[in-house]
Structure 1
Amino acid sequence: MAVERANLLNMAKLSIKGLIESALSFGRTLDSDYPPLQQFFVVMEHCLKHGLKVKKSFLGYNKSLWGPLELVEKLCPEAGEIAASVRDLPGLKTPLGRARAWLRLALMQKRLADYLRCLITRKDLLSEFYESSAVMLEEEGAVIVGLLVGLNVIDANLCVKGEDLDTQVSGRLFTHRTLNGQIAAILDQKNYVEELNRQLNSSVQGLQGRVDSLEKSNSKLIEELAIAKNNIIKLQEENHQLRSENSVIVMKAQQRLEVRCGDVDVELNTYKQSRQGLDEMYNEARRQLREECQLRQDVENELVVQVSMKQEMEMAMKLLEKDIHEKQDTLIGLRHQLDEVKAINVEMYQKILQEAEKDRSQAEDGMRKFKQHFASKVDGVLKQITQREKQMLQIETDLKIEREWRQTLQNDLEKEQKTVLQLRTEAQQIIGLKKEFHRLQDENRQLKGVCEEQEKALEELGYKLSESKLKIEDIKEANKALQGGQVWLKDKDATHCKLCDKEFSISRRKHHCRNCGEIFCNACSDNELPLPASPKPVRVCDTCHALLLQRCSSTAT
C-alpha cells in the first residue's frame, strides 16, 4: 500500500504539472476533449479509489466513489449546488458516473482543492469508506490536495450532460454488472499504465537531453585541453628560444671578454711607457659593465614571467580536473535515476500482472455462477467471454510492447556506459598531460640552474673588469706623469670617428692618436710610428701617419 501511495502521488504530480503547463501554453478555455485534462481525471479517480472499502448491498458488493463525495455537501454548504445538479442530471445512472460529474463541476467552479481539503480533515468520517492505509487518510492525500490549488489558474468549460460518464450498464442482472465492472477496471488500469509509460518516456527524454548536454560540455573540455596542449607547445618553443638566446648571450660575453683581455694586453704592452689616454678606456669598460647588468636584469624578468605563466597553467589544469570530476558525479547520479525508473517499471509490471490474474479468477467464478443460475443465457455470456478474451489478448500485446520498450531502455543504458568509458579514457589522457606538465616544470628548473651558472660567469667577468679598472687607474696615474704638451680630446666629446665618421659602439671602440690627440676607430688608427715623446712605436691615425712619413722622406733628401 505504501508503494501504491507513492506511485499515485508521483502520477498526480506529473499529471497536474503537465496540465498546468500545457493549459498555459494552450492559451484558451479547455474542453472535455483536451487529452491532458482527461488524463488528470483518470489519475484523480485512481487516487480516490485507492483503499476504498467494498460495501455489501442486496444486489451484491458495491465499491463506489459517490459515497465519500456526498459528505462534502454536509461539511461545506457551498458544495450543495454541485451535488444537486449532479443528482438532477438525467443521463447518469451509476454512482461512479455521478462522482465523475461531481469532479468536473468542482473543477469548473475552481473549488476542487477546497472541497477535498474539507473532506480529508474529517478522517473519522472517511474511515467508514476507506481503509486505514488509503491515500485519502495518509499524508500523500494532503500533498495531492495542496497540488490541486494550482489548477485554479485553468479555465475549463465541460459539457457534463452530453457525455457518457457511466462505465457500467444498468438494467441487467448483477452478474453482468460485475463482469462489466471488472472489464472497466482492467481498461482503467491499462490507461493508467499507458499514462505512466508516457510520463516515464518524457523523463527518459529529459535524462537523454541532460546526457547530450554533458557530451557537449565534454567536447568543450576536449577543446580546452587541445588549447592547453598548444599553450604547452608554445611554452616549450619559448624555452628553446630562451636557451638559444642565453647561449648567444654567453658566447657574446665570452667574445667580449676575449676582445677586452686582448685589448688590455695590447694596451699594457704598447702603452707602458706612454701611459696616455686611459681614462676613456675606464669609462668604456664601466659603461659596458652597466649594459651587461641590464641584460642580466632583462633575462631575470623573462624568467619571472615564465614562472608566473607556468603557475597559471597549473591552476587551469586543476580547474579542468575539478570540472571532469563533477561531470563524472552527475553521470553517476543520472545512472542511479535510470536504475530507479527501471525498478518502478518492473514493480508496476508485476502489480498489473497480479491484478490481471485476480480479475481473471474473479471473472471465471462469476461465469460458473452465471452458468449454474442462468443456463438460458449461456450464448450471450459466451459472446461476452470471447470479447473479454480479445481484450486480454490486446492487453498482452500491450505488455509485449512495454517489454520491447524496456529493452530499448537497456540498450540506451549500455550506450551511456560506453560514453562513461570514453570519459574515463579522456581522464587518463588528462593525467598524461599532467605528467608532461611536471616534466616541463623540471626542464624549467634546469633552465634556472643554467641561468644561475651564467650569473656566476657574469660575476666573474665583473670581478675581472674591476681588476682591469685598478690597473687602468695605475696606468692613468703613470700617464699623467709622462703626458706631453698636446691637448687630448675627451671621450665623452666624441661619438663618431674623426676620419670615417662611423658611430662608436661596444664592438667599435675609441682610440686616441698619440700625435694629434683626436679620437678614431681601430680601422682608422691601426698604424704605429715612433714619436719624439716615445722612442717605441705608438698608435697614430692614418692622416698623421701620412704626414709623418712625408716629413721623414723630406728630411732624408
Structure 2
Amino acid sequence: MEERSNLMNMMKLSIKVLIQSALSLGRTLDSDFPPLQQFFVVMEHCLKHGLRAKKSFIGQHKSFFGPLELVEKLCPEASDLATSVRNLPELKTPIGRGRAWLYLAVMQKKLADYLKVLLDHKNLLSEFYEPDALMMEEEGAVIVGLLVGLNVIDANLCLKGEDLDSQVAVIDFSLYLKDTQNTDDGKQDGGITAVLDQKHYVEELNRHLSCTVGDLQTKIECLEKTNSKLQEELTAATDRIKALHEEQQELKKENELIRERSEKHVEVTKQDTKVELETYKQTRQGLDEMYSDVWKQMKEEKKIRMELEKELELQIGMKIEMEIAMKLLEKDTHEKQDTLVALRQQLEEVKAINLQMFHKSQNAESSLQQKKEAISSFEGKTHQMMSSIKQMEDRLQRTEKARQVAEEKNIQLKQEMGGKTESLKQQLTQLDSKWYSYIL
C-alpha cells in the first residue's frame, strides 16, 4: 500500500514537473529532455509494480510489454503502434519493446486512452499482475487521469540509435526535491506536506538503490563465474604452452646430442682417414683396392653427414611449427571468447523469439477454442433440426393414414347414400301409384 502511494506521488510530481518545464520552454520536447526521461522511468516502475514472473525453460523473467500487447486486441487503433514496435530491428528484448511502445504512445498523445482501455478489462490484466498491483487498484485509475494532462505536450522522440534494451531505469530524485527553508509563515502546512513527500521519495530512492545494488551483485556474480571459467581455460592453455615449451627444450637437447654425435663421428672418420693415408703412403700395396674402399667410406660418411644435416633441418622446422602452433592456440582462445559473446547474443535472440512464439500460440489456442465452441453450437442446431424433421415426418405419416381412413369412410357413405336414394325412389313411386289410385 505504501509503495503504491509512493509511486502515485512520484507520478504526480513527474507529470507536474514535465508539464511546467515544457510550458516554460514553449517548444517540442525530444528524448534528451531530463524531465521527460524521468517520466518514462517512473511510468516503467508503475507498470512493473506487482508484475507476475513468467517461467520458461531459460528462467523467470518480468516484462511489462505483455500487458501492453493486449491494447492491440482491445483497441484496433493501436495495431499500427504494435506492428511498428515489432518491426524495429535494433530491439531484441521485451523491455526495449515496452519502452518503445511508451515513446510512440506519448508521441500519439493516446497513452491515457490506451491505459484506460486496459483498466476497463481487469479480468485480462489479472493474468499479468498480482491482485495488489498498482494497475489493479484505484491508484491505476488515478494515474490514467493524470496522464490526460500530457496531451498538451508535443514530443518528438527518435527511436533510431536509442539503446532501449540496456538502459537502467533509475529515478533521479534530485529533480523533485524542493527547498522548503525559504517558505513564508502562511505556507507552513504546504512545507510540511512537501517534507513528508520528500521523505517518501527518499525512502523510494533507497528502495530502488537497494534493488539496483542487488541486480549489480547478481551481475558481478555472473561475471565472476565467467571470469573463473575463463581463468580455468587460460590455466589449461598455459599448461599446454608449458608442455609445448618442455617438449621444445627436449627437442633442443636431442638436437644438441645429435650434433655432438655427428661432430664426434666426423672427427673419428678424419682420424681414420689420416691413419689410412699414412698406411697408404707406407705400404703402397693394394693401392687400388684400398683407394676404392676409402672412397666408399668417404661416400658413406658424406651420406651420413647429409642425413644428419637433414635431421637438423627437420628439428628446426619442428621448432618453427611449435612456435606457429603456440600462436594458433592464442588465436584459438581469442576466437573462443568471440564465439562466447556471439552465443550470448544468440541466446538473447532465442529468448525474444520464444516469447513471440508463446504469444502467437496463446492467440492460436484462443481462436481454436472459439472455433470449437462455434462447431459445438452448430452441431446442437443440426440435432434440433433433425429432431424437428423426424417429428414432421411422423405427423405427415399420421395425416396420410387419416386421409386414407377418411377416403374409405367417404366411399362407404357414398355407397350407403346410393342404396338409400334407390329405396327412396322406390317408396316415392309406390306413393305416387297409391296417390294416383286414391285420386281415381
So what's the TM-score if we normalise by structure 1? 0.39
So what's the TM-score if we normalise by structure 2? 0.48
| Higher helix proportion (structure 1 or 2) | 2
